[in-house]
Amino acid sequence: MKIALLQMMVTADKEKNLKRAEELVNKAAQGGADMAVLPEMFNCPYDNAYFPEYAEPKGGETYRRLSEMAKENAIYVVGGSIPQIKENKIYNTSYTFDRQGNELHDYSKTHLFDIQVDGGQAFKESDTLTPGNGMGVFQTEFGLFGLGICFDVRFQSDWEMLQKQGALVCIVPGAFNMTTGPAHWELLFRARAVDNQLFMVGVSPARDLDFSYHAYGHSLVADPWGSVLTQLGFEEDIAIVSVDLERVASVRRQIPILSPPVME
């Protein structure tokens, strides 16, 4: 199958962001992609100050537009994430749609990004956001996929759970920054891929120095062997990556760490 990484530039104009997402999904479909993946918080700038203003209920404008993108292009769409408002609480939520525009998956970020790096990045999502209640998998014509959002990638036990549920590919809309990105972004995706012997796909916004939060970019795909199949830079870009799902079974057979043989 082919997965499109849509590393888009996010602005303070929600409509502009949605139109750009539509353009990129269409471009992905024209390029033969089976699935298009948008970045974390793709419809608003990544900043606590923006989340309440841009938050939408499930079924709102962004949700409907994502469904239409999937249906019109006959492509799976992983809608990055957006601020979702539910019962007066705001969540960092990702919606996934099938080729007919039907919802496949609804997930809210479990592990909120609360960090204070000495001499580096400080951020506290919990000032605004509420955590979700756990990760899960969704079915596609290609097999089971798992999904987490950004900071979730640091928690290996959750990805082991998705692997045990049958995930062959795990998708991570994320927005690492210029402190943690160079140090940990590629390392974590390769580690999760090797730990669980599956494909890991990370999609970030492009870096915009005009906003308070500077995303690292570098959207990537790591295979079950830990090899990086592609990695973008800082700028807005798109990559369509061929993913051979038979590679999962091959690597698991060669290095059987997930189901060790029973000793006599």
Cα–Cα dist 96/170, whole Å:
13
Quick one: the chain helix, strand, coil %, rounded to 5? 30, 30, 40
Within a domain: residue 261? no
Enzyme catalytic residues: 40, 109, 150
Give all strands (DSSP E) within the chain, no chain letters. Answer: 2-7, 35-37, 76-78, 82-86, 89-97, 103-108, 114-116, 122-124, 136-140, 143-147, 167-173, 199-203, 220-222, 228-231, 237-242
Residue 72: pLDDT over 70: yes
Cα–Cα dist 242/12, whole Å:
33
How many domains are contained in the chain? 1
The CA R_g of the chain, rounded to the nearest whole Å, is 17
Cα–Cα dist 123/238, whole Å:
28
What confidence tier does 145 reach under pLDDT thresholds 50, 70, 90? very high
Structure tokens, 155 = 């928690």
Within a domain: residue 69? yes
Within a domain: residue 262? no
> Cβ–Cβ contacts within 10 Å for residue 197, how many?
24
Within a domain: residue 221? yes
The values of phi and psi at residue 92, to 5°, are: -95, 100
pTM across the whole model: 0.95
Structure tokens, 256 = 């059987």
Within a domain: residue 119? yes
Residue 185: pLDDT over 70: yes
Within a domain: residue 99? yes
Residue 264: pLDDT over 70: no
Question: Which range of residues forms the domain containing residue 173?
Answer: 2-254
Within a domain: residue 264? no
In the chain, % of residues over pLDDT 70:
98
CATH code, 54: 3.60.110.10
pLDDT of residue 175: 95
Residue 260: pLDDT over 80: no
Residue 31 identity (one-letter amino acid): G
Cα–Cα dist 224/112, whole Å:
27
Q: Which 8-state DSSP code applies to residue 88? A: T
Within a domain: residue 259? no
* Whether 234 contacts 207, CB under 8 Å: yes
Residues 108-123 have pLDDT tens digits of 999 998 778 787 777 7
Residues 15-59 have pLDDT tens digits of 999 999 999 999 999 999 999 999 999 999 999 999 999 999 999
